[in-house]
Structure 1
Amino acid sequence: MNVVYITGYKPFELGIFDNKHEGIRYIVKAIKQRLVPLIEQGTEWVIISGQLGVELWAGEVAIELKKEFSQLKLGVLTPYLEQEKSWNELNKEFYDSILSNADYVDSISKKEYEGPWQLRAKNVFLVHKSDGMIIVYDHEREGSPKYAMEEARKYAESNDYPIMAITFDDLQQAVESEAEEWQD
């Protein structure tokens, strides 16, 4: 798997309203646990669309792992121009820090937001341009990642396209394993 697409929930879908929330640590840990073995097996690119939440946290993970794995690169392919336009200053700063450390940045649609078709096009593009997906998603709490998951499943029907879901159970296990580490 040369290129892995990482996506998942937006922060508000997880009840996260600032970048210091305790839960982010476990999401980051779970992403890293899935990503490191892929890199060790030859993954060279992590691609995200740069949306707030799981994608930017995954971008942060990729930037951190680039220090250890020199072949790793981060690509940010936004669905449309200026997706961060209406975000608050803290979110814009975080976004800018990820973009400034990415190896490739571009927009799929060369226009500002016009409609949901741009988001559908983003899902199709990123799934078809990657070799597999890591997605923070639980089918019992659909939310926005549902659309990327649907596209990935459709694509996987006729292509070798692994989908590695990180569920709420996986996140709970990350919390519990860390609690056990503290007790030892």
Structure 2
Amino acid sequence: MVKRLFVSGYKAHELGIFNEKNPGLAIIKKALKRELIRLLEEELEWVIISGQLGVEMWAAETVLELKKEYPHLKLAVITPFLNQEEKWKEETQDYYRTIVMQADYLNSVYQTPYEGVWQLKEKDKFLLSHSDGILLVYDEENEGSPKFLSKLAARKAEMGEYQLVRINAYDLQTIAEEQQQELYNGDF
């Protein structure tokens, strides 16, 4: 049973998603919502993210939406270091802060500003060790920043007592085709 779920995946730019109007974004959010609802029906209580732009923040938006139907669901944002957003564009900082302000729990693995890339690797290890499972939007055929995390999660899952759920390109394509079919059926 997964009570505490770490959600991660690609960064927005790795998927070529640069604004809310990108049609791929709705597909990713729908895939996230499906898996979260499935896990909610099995005992999910917490969704944990590190606040990374892309899949993690879209998952946070989805959690905040789902809280209307599942008020027991909680969102934790555990950043790798303090003020991770300080060098981002102002509108991106505003978006990030709007989401983070609605979190049920906010903390940082390291109580210092950015010191090195090692903090990001240690953040992954910390979040894996403080969760019962991970929902990872990642496709092994399209490598990107989640590659290291995917390997760590797979090793942890192989040892047992840890659930690894992946959303891959096939899953997203299936949702896109379902949406096309719904549109097509709605026209008649």
- The question of a shared fold, defined as TM-score above 0.5 by the shorter chain, is answered with yes
Q: What is aligned with 2:74? A: 73
- Any idea what SS the aligned residue of 2:77 has? strand
How many angstroms does 1:70 deviate by? 1.1
| Counterpart-to-counterpart distance in 2, 1:154 and 1:111 | 29
How big is each residue's C-alpha offset from its partner over 1:53-102, in whole Å with a ceiling of 9 and x where there is no partner? Answer: 00000000000001100110000000111111111122111111111111
Q: What is aligned with 1:85? A: 86
Q: What is aligned with 2:155? A: 154
How big is each residue's C-alpha offset from its partner over 1:10-52, in whole Å with a ceiling of 9 and x where there is no partner? Answer: 0110011123322111000000111101111110000000000
What is the Cα-based RMSD across aligned positions, in Å?
A: 0.9
Could you tell which deviates more after superposition, 125-134 or 158-167? 158-167
Q: Indicate whether 1:140 and 2:141 are aligned.
A: yes
How big is each residue's C-alpha offset from its partner over 1:100-143, in whole Å with a ceiling of 9 and x where there is no partner? Answer: 11100111111111111101111101111111111100001111
Tell me which amino acid in the other structure corresponds to 1:39.
L
Hey, which bits of structure 1, 4+ residues long, moved more than 6 A? none
| Counterpart-to-counterpart distance in 2, 1:130 and 1:163 | 11
How many angstroms does 1:157 deviate by? 2.6
| Counterpart-to-counterpart distance in 2, 1:114 and 1:153 | 28
- The 5-angstrom pairing of residues 30-41 of structure 1 reads 30-41=31-42
Could you tell which deviates more after superposition, 51-60 or 157-166? 157-166
The number of aligned residues is 184
Unmatched tracts of structure 1, length 5 or more? none
TM-score normalized by structure 2? 0.95
Q: Indicate whether 1:6 and 2:7 are aligned.
A: yes
Q: What is aligned with 2:55? A: 54
- Any idea what SS the aligned residue of 1:20 has? coil
Q: What is aligned with 1:171? A: 172
Q: What is aligned with 1:131? A: 132
Tell me which amino acid in the other structure corresponds to 1:54.
V
- The 5-angstrom pairing of residues 109-120 of structure 1 reads 109-120=110-121
| Counterpart-to-counterpart distance in 2, 1:10 and 1:103 | 23
| Counterpart-to-counterpart distance in 2, 1:55 and 1:142 | 17
| Counterpart-to-counterpart distance in 1, 2:51 and 2:20 | 15
Identity of aligned residues (%): 46
Tell me which amino acid in the other structure corresponds to 1:132.
G
| Counterpart-to-counterpart distance in 1, 2:184 and 2:22 | 22
| Counterpart-to-counterpart distance in 1, 2:125 and 2:156 | 9
TM-score normalized by structure 1? 0.97
